[in-house]
Amino acid sequence: MPNNEFGDFQTPLALALQCLKVLELPGDARLLEPTCGVGSFLEAGATVSPASERQGLELHPEYAEKAARWGRVEVANIFHTRLPDHVSWTTDGPLYVVGNPPWVTSAELNRMESDNLPPKENFKGAKGLDALLGSSNFDVCEYILLKVLNEYRAEPFTLGMLCKTQVARNVIEYAASSGMPLAGADVYRIDSMKWFDAGVDACWFVVHVDSSRPADYTARIHGDVFAPEESAENRFGVVDGRLVSDVDRYSGVRVADGASPYEWRSGMKHDASGVFELVATPAPATKEGVALDLEAEFVYPFLKSTDIFRGRHRDLTKWVIVPQKTFGAETASLELKAPALWKYLNANGEALDGRKSSIYRNRPRFSVFGHGDYTYAPYKVAVSGLHKKPLFQLVAPLNNQPVVLDDTCYFLPFREGVEAAVVTAVLNSQPCIDLIESLVFWDSKRPITKKLLARIDLNQLPYDSGLVCESAAKYAAAADIPFDESTARKLLGAFGAVVLGPVS
Ligand SMILES: C[S@@+](CC[C@H](N)C(=O)[O-])C[C@H]1O[C@@H](n2cnc3c(N)ncnc32)[C@H](O)[C@@H]1O
């Protein structure tokens, strides 16, 4: 994708035409394209609505000159132009602000030493936008959409922009938090690989602005901009101030969108798999097959998110070295306490010293992180943060040792197996899956996050307690945990209330 500092990849005419067809432009439309490039959207506008009044702004004079075939085009910098002050019209039909702003982030621009960025003071006081500009990295396209919505909020108009789907979500969230008069939106997916050679989820984002209509911060999601007549898949948007991915599914389980009674943890990180991760033969061995006779108290059974997702959590296939009990604890005493491990770590000292993350800077030499007492809890309920399906597994000791999870997993730690089995059953119950599916955006790199899991109030989920007890018994049996139904029943609705007591 030619992604230079100007986000200069011009929209193919066929796509611009289809986007405007979706808008069903009236004959007297006023069409404004704030970063019009060579004018694909103005040309498309001239085709679908020949009598429309069309205007464009563009930074580069040579592009503006080309675009001027299709409307009135000025050379201007969007970041220094307040659109309603600058653009005057000779007609008064419905307004459409359309286009394809640069898809580039402020961090990328900083790396390119480009100053094609909005001045920081632009939106002082405009709730949401000042926060956006203040953040260390923001999407320039998102900024332009919010700028347009903010500047034209006083009049009814339709915004239609090509953007990343993530940008569409952020815009809806900002618009809701700052009370912009949105009256609903539509997201039509586009094949960004085909049109822009870009491997990113993108869409034709249509927003209706109208302060005379009830505020609506939801967006219908349509499968394909080339099949707009197909009914929407579902709606995402802001409900009660919270962004949800499926508004209708959410309505049945929103009572449980609150706070988890337990603290979710993420797994351990070490940034040196070649050194810390060992193969189970079943005894610990290097990946090259060299058996290692290390002090057992520093070596734990190890599972990764794929093991959790694929249901391989009862198999001992990997070990991991944990050189210190908690983050930051010294590792020098290993020399006396664990001479074999000390020798092994020193032999691999170069690889460990070369770890890039700043978390290891000024720390004991053989540090790992993301571990504490909870790491050694015998029972855990774990989920993969990387896979696109919520599937919770009950992790019980292997080789009579607590299992350590890697940092692509999230988990709840438990001292008691029955409690872990019941929580596993509740998390896998249909109401919980409904809640997760109505909150998650599966196109994210890490769809399931700690933040999302922390929103699940297990005590409010409308599950069937009979079914939950039945499946808890099965999870317990599969993990060789003696199951006591009366304890299980006591837990239902009282999670976190120290009935058995989780590990902090
Ligand atoms: C992704 S291209 C899209 C062009 C056109 N909208 C289209 O769809 O074919 C983005 C355009 O924004 C222009 N641009 C970048 N920064 C700008 C700025 N600060 N002010 C105005 N235009 C800008 C670029 O020159 C480029 O032509």
DSSP 326-380: STT---TTHHHH-HHHHHHHHHTHHHHHT---GGGTTS-TT--BS-SGGGG-SEE
Residue 262's identity, in one-letter code, is: Y
How does the average pLDDT of the chain come out, rounded?
Answer: 92
Reading the block at residue 285, the tokens are 């061995």
Cα 77 to middle of ligand 1, angstroms:
10
Q: Confirm if 204 and 19 have CB atoms less than 8 A apart.
A: yes
Residues 6+ apart with CB under 8 A from 375: 268, 322, 402, 404, 413
Mutate to test the pocket of ligand 1, among 1, 4, 5, 6 (most ligand atoms within 8 A of CB): 6
The helix or strand, by DSSP H or E, that contains position 163, with its residue range, turns out to be strand 157-164
36 lines ligand 1 (CB under 6 A): yes
Helix pair 13-23, 40-48: axis angle to 10 deg: 50
Q: Confirm if 435 and 461 have CB atoms less than 8 A apart.
A: yes
Mutate to test the pocket of ligand 1, among 15, 35, 80 (most ligand atoms within 8 A of CB): 35
Q: Confirm if 40 and 10 have CB atoms less than 8 A apart.
A: yes
Residues 6+ apart with CB under 8 A from 124: 130
345 lines ligand 1 (CB under 6 A): no
Q: In order of start, what are the domains of the chain with their CATH numbers? A: 13-244 (3.40.50.150), 265-285+301-317+370-491 (no CATH)
Cα 64 to middle of ligand 1, angstroms:
10
User: Residue 202: CA atoms inside 13 Å, Cβ hemisphere, count?
Assistant: 23
Mutate to test the pocket of ligand 1, among 58, 62, 114 (most ligand atoms within 8 A of CB): 58
11 lines ligand 1 (CB under 6 A): yes
Residue 117's identity, in one-letter code, is: L
45 lines ligand 1 (CB under 6 A): no
78 lines ligand 1 (CB under 6 A): yes
Reading the block at residue 53, the tokens are 């009044």
Cα 160 to middle of ligand 1, angstroms:
15
192 lines ligand 1 (CB under 6 A): no
Reading the block at residue 221, the tokens are 């999601």
40 lines ligand 1 (CB under 6 A): yes
Residues 6+ apart with CB under 8 A from 368: 268, 269, 270, 276, 322, 323, 324, 327
Residues (pLDDT < 50) of the chain are 1-3, 124
Q: Confirm if 94 and 30 have CB atoms less than 8 A apart.
A: yes
Closest to 237 in 3D by CA, of 213, 264, 208: 208
The 10 Å Cβ neighbour count of residue 357 is 10
Q: Confirm if 406 and 318 have CB atoms less than 8 A apart.
A: no
Three-state DSSP at 502 gives strand
- The alpha carbon of 96 is separated from its chain's Cα centroid by a whole number of angstroms, namely 30
Three-state DSSP at 498 gives coil
Taking the CA of residue 162 as reference, the ligand 1 atom at the shortest distance is: 8
| Count of all residues that appear for the chain in the document | 504
39 lines ligand 1 (CB under 6 A): no
376 lines ligand 1 (CB under 6 A): no
Exposure pattern of 149-178 as b/e (b: 16+ CB <10 Å)? Answer: bbbbbeebbbbbbbbbbbbbbbbbbbbbeb
Cα 89 to middle of ligand 1, angstroms:
22
* Helix/strand/coil percent split, the chain, to 5: 35, 20, 45
Closest to 458 in 3D by CA, of 405, 402, 414, 401: 414
The 10 Å Cβ neighbour count of residue 490 is 16
195 lines ligand 1 (CB under 6 A): no
Closest to 381 in 3D by CA, of 396, 370, 400: 396
- N- to C-terminal Cα distance for the chain? 47
What CA–CA distances, in Å, run from 147 to 133, 144, 159, 236, 237? 11, 5, 11, 22, 20
Phi/psi at 351 (5° precision): -60, -40
DSSP 164: E
Phi/psi at 172 (5° precision): -60, -40
Alpha-carbon span 188 to 226, nearest angstrom: 8
Cα 121 to middle of ligand 1, angstroms:
22
Cα 63 to middle of ligand 1, angstroms:
9
Mutate to test the pocket of ligand 1, among 59, 204, 205, 225 (most ligand atoms within 8 A of CB): 59
7 lines ligand 1 (CB under 6 A): yes
pLDDT per residue over 413-457, tens digit each? Answer: 999 999 999 999 999 999 999 999 999 998 887 899 999 999 999
Q: What is the DSSP string of 190-233?
A: E-HHHHH---S-EEEEEEEE-TTS--EEEEEEES-TT-TTSPPS
- The alpha carbon of 19 is separated from its chain's Cα centroid by a whole number of angstroms, namely 26
Cα 378 to middle of ligand 1, angstroms:
57
Of all protein residues, the one whose alpha carbon is nearest to atom 16 of ligand 1 is: 6
Closest to 278 in 3D by CA, of 321, 339, 316: 321
Q: What is the DSSP string of 10-29?
A: PPPHHHHHHHHHHHT--TT-
152 lines ligand 1 (CB under 6 A): no
Cα 58 to middle of ligand 1, angstroms:
6
| pLDDT for res 2 | 42
Closest to 94 in 3D by CA, of 209, 229, 214: 209
Longest dimension (CA), the chain: 86
Q: What is the DSSP string of 69-118?
A: TSSEEEE--GGG--HHHH---S--S-EEEEE-----BHHHHHHTT---S-
10 lines ligand 1 (CB under 6 A): yes
